[in-house]
Amino acid sequence: MNVRHVCTMPVDLLEEDVAVYVSTCLRGAMHAPATESIRRRLARCPACAAEAANALALLKWREAEAPFNRNALPVPDLARLIGAGASKRSG
């Protein structure tokens, strides 16, 4: 099924709205007034609504399959990296 955008919402605003909507829904604040406003704005266009629903479903599925854990994504040792960069600049 190919749903077309019928809105003229700029892509950056659409991405921001979808991100805010998904994050608030995941936190359980989907009935907050700000979230409702974004939901109504996304619901005006079938493609925007589908994108938001797909993003939310994917993240809920991903969280159910393997809950996020801090060690899932390696975090670089920033202190070491900053120190290495500083020693290269001073040399």
51 lies in a domain? yes
Q: What is the residue range of 46's domain?
A: 11-69
3 lies in a domain? no
How far is 51 from 91, CA to CA, in rounded Å?
51
End-to-end Cα separation, the chain, in angstroms: 59
User: Can you list the pairs that 33-39 forms with residues at least 24 positions away whose Cβ atoms lie under 8 Å?
Assistant: none
19 lies in a domain? yes
81 lies in a domain? no
Cβ partners under 8 Å of residue 70, min gap 6: none
- Please tell me the pTM assigned to this model: 0.62
Total number of domains in the chain: 1
Q: What is the pLDDT along the chain (91 residues), one digit of tens a residue?
A: 577 777 888 888 888 888 888 888 888 777 778 788 888 988 999 988 898 899 889 888 887 776 666 555 555 666 776 765 555 555 5
